[in-house]
Structure 1
Amino acid sequence: MPDRGPQEAVVLRRYDLTPVRDHFMYPTDRYPRWVLLAPVSGRFSYALSAETDQSRSRPFGAATGRCASGELILCPPGVRIDRELLEPSRFWFAEFDLAGGLEPWWPAGKVSVGDRQRLRANFRLLDESSAWRDPRRHHTRTHVLTDVLLTIGREHQASARPADTVAVQGAARLEQLVADPDSSVQAVADALNLSATQFTRRFREAYGVPPIRYLTELRLAKAQRLLLDTDHTVTAIAELCGYRSPFYFSRAFSKATGESPAKFRASRRV
């Protein structure tokens, strides 16, 4: 990529950070520029389809699935996107160009963001920017978009390396341990015949985060779904997500999301 400032590389054309909604205003659309669509909370289903990806002049095919917190959709120019909210949700929409003939450095379709703490910090900055005036507001929104795209590009480049099968096996074991309060990185490392230090190093190299943080993200993502999709008490949800203490669970949830579990549920149910 040419040596130029990141603010100069991305040109933000349209932007929206919605309140909680129960449906998309336009369930089907096709945009002339790149579009980023990310759930700040909640989930939506999507389908991308086009004969060609106009941004790369190659076959694009079709992609369908669900997008939840910590994930986002990058829709290339000219690609049709169909979407439907699966629950009351907030989402971030950005339509943008690349300046000076730059080529995209990110993948098209659904992307899972590894650095979710950074993504949440960017969402908070977008919320704060709504009270500001231009040009500060526009510069901030462009900065956040650029930062997210650079983060995705860096993580995608790293993920293009040959997969570490041991790290993949470790991730699968961690996913099975979400509800187990006795789970530990040491136990997973032992099962893979590695020391905890070796496993943590290899896992971080493969996924960009240490295994304990990966497990915490899985637990909190499950907690968010249970808060929105069930009437379980906070105590019951804490137990289902591997926390012995509802107080410790509430503290971890509040630190990660900026809201208590009760407030998170109340503000997103309509």
Structure 2
Amino acid sequence: MRDEWPEALTMRYLEAGAGVDTVDGALDAKTVPFAILAQATSGRYRLAYDGRSTEAGPESIVIAPPHRRLTFGHYATDESVMRSRWAHVAFSLWGSIDLWDLVELPRRLDGRAAEIVGESIHALLTDAPGEDPVRRLTRRLQIGATLAEVLITASTPRPEAADIAEGAFQLRPLLRYMQESLADPLDVAQLARVACLSEATLHRRFRQVFGTTPMRYLKRLRLDEAARTLGRTDRTIGAVAEEVGFANPYHFSREFQRAFGMPPRDFRTAASR
């Protein structure tokens, strides 16, 4: 089964940005569905989550995991300026298993690993004007693979990772179907038919593997995809909601705020920094 993992891995999200902050000590709190790799090219970052904080200057990279409440502190140099650059990256296994759910990401990278990430972010920020789309896609895939390799090498597998991966492997046709059908009005009966399982067995499998119900898992897939779409496109919130299966944009906004701690409009702004 493990021989299939490389082919099963998909890069779902890769975006980069840079900015200048002139407010020393500015705080940025958010929850996101992707890993954040951030470098202060001048000044320093302080990243806090799960009751611990990590600081990093220009020689290091801070790493923030998805689905945690994060607080970034921005601290300027003596010239009262902080310059930074970052990449947001997400990979999935069999279409819907978040790769970062299987490992404990390091809070900081130093040395050669930090240099590689910094070089990769720089490459993402320097797309050549007029570059052939196929070449650009190939280059981005190569950069994404490099970032994944650095992060996985520096990470620690979670104790439950093997059980999640083994269980998800058995459910992979259903997981792919769920990811490909986010816009459709799915219910448990339909999911059970796709999985060729009874509804009771499907519930039990999801509880054992993911610790939640099939419909709650589907809702997370929908909201994560919506957040990534908001971060990389200018589609209207109503259009994004419809694309991930929410017919009512008000219901979508309420569920989105529960998941990410802010409404979709504010998340779009937060995702760009």
TM value normalised by structure 2: 0.49
